């Protein structure tokens, strides 16, 4: 027994699986645009990454040519597609207490300062860094209202939404002590088993905002 798809569905399937052409000129334009918009430098060896990430945008918009996509961007400098373009080309490498030797230095510096202590995490990604800073300051300065604050920003608005949620897989917290896990996170149960969430008492000290509106 054989089956066939209607002509329209067959055409759509071919569009979704066909490899689109990313010319040298297209790659140069993409590199120029992302540098102008976000200060991101794309080396030549990033070409496959650029293709794999942007081709999803083209297909979601029903486009089959990178040139048409770039024309769409450049025709409206205020289009919401610019943010999707930036989000697609942003690489986020982060972890809780990454570069761990920095945090004792932060704690020592905070102890020696009076007034409200403020820290800006400029590339907050999915929130691991600003929450690590917040845990360090809570351990060092306590949780007295107005004593300290963490401002967290990122150019990628999608990762900021994850950061705001404060929800992580349990294995992502491997760098935390048992005391930090108990004090600052809630474990999920039932369908949320294996997940943890930042306690609101800590989250209240962290403000997330897109990089363009950061302090």
In whole angstroms, what is the distance from residue 120 CA to residue 123 CA?
A: 9
Sheet strands side by side (includes 195-198): 167-169, 195-198, 185-187
22 Cβ contact list (under 8 Å, min separation 6): 47, 50, 51, 66
Q: What is the mean pLDDT of the chain?
A: 88
Catalytic residue among 19, 44, 108, 154: 154
| Model confidence at 170: pLDDT above 80 | yes
Inter-residue contact 157 to 210 (CB < 8 Å): yes
**213 pLDDT above the threshold of 90:** no
Q: Pick the catalytic residue from 53, 59, 183, 199.
A: 53
Give me the residue spans of the domains in the chain: 20-89, 102-213
Higher pLDDT, residue 63 or 214: 63
Got the DSSP string for the chain? ------HHHHHHHHHHHSPPP--HHHHHHHHHHHHHHH-----GGGHHHHHHHHHHHHHHTT---HHHHHHHHHH-TT-THHHHHHHHH------TTSSTTHHHHHHHHHHT--S-EEEEETT-TTTHHHHHHHHHHHHHH---TTSEEEEEEES-HHHHHHHHHTEEEGGGGTTS-HHHHHHHEEE--GGGTTEEEE-HHHHTTEEEEEGGG--
Q: Which residues contact 18 (CB under 8 A, 6 or more apart)?
A: 64
Which pLDDT belongs to residue 96?
95
pTM for this model (two decimals): 0.75
- CATH fold match for the domains 20-89 and 102-213: no
Whether 53 is a known active-site residue: answer yes
Instruction: Indicate if 164 belongs to the active site.
Output: no
Is residue 13 over pLDDT 50? no
**Which CATH architecture describes the domain 102-213?**
3-Layer(aba) Sandwich (3.40)
Q: Say if residue 94's pLDDT is above 80.
A: yes
93-116 mean pLDDT: 93
Reply yes or no on whether the pLDDT at 132 is more than 70. Answer: yes
User: What CATH number matches the domain at 20-89, 1.10.155.10, 2.60.40.420, 3.40.50.880, 3.20.20.80?
Assistant: 1.10.155.10
Q: Say if residues 9 and 57 touch (Cβ distance below 8 Å).
A: no
Contact by Cβ (8 Å): 175, 96: yes
The token pair that represents 53 in the structure block: 């990430």
Q: How confident is the model at residue 87 (pLDDT cuts 50, 70, 90)?
A: confident
């Amino acid at each position: 027994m054989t089956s066939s798809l209607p002509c329209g569905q067959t055409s759509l399937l071919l569009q979704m699986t066909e490899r689109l052409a990313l010319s040298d000129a297209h790659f140069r334009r993409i590199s120029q645009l992302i540098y102008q918009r976000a200060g991101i430098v794309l080396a030549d060896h990033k070409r496959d990454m650029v293709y794999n990430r942007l081709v999803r945008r083209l297909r979601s918009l029903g486009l089959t040519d990178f040139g048409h996509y770039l024309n769409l961007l450049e025709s409206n400098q205020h289009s919401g597609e610019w943010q999707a373009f930036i989000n697609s080309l942003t690489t986020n490498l982060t972890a809780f207490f990454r570069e761990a030797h920095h945090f004792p230095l932060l704690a020592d510096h905070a102890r020696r300062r009076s007034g409200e202590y403020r820290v800006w995490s400029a590339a907050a990604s999915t929130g691991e860094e600003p929450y690590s800073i917040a845990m360090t300051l809570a351990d060092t300065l306590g949780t007295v209202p107005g004593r300290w604050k963490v401002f967290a920003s990122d150019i990628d608005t999608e990762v900021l939404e994850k950061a705001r949620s404060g929800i992580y897989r349990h294995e992502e917290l491997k760098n935390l002590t048992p005391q930090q896990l108990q004090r600052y996170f809630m474990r999920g149960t039932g369908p949320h088993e294996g997940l943890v969430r930042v306690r609101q008492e800590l989250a209240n000290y962290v403000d997330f905002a897109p990089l363009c509106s950061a302090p």
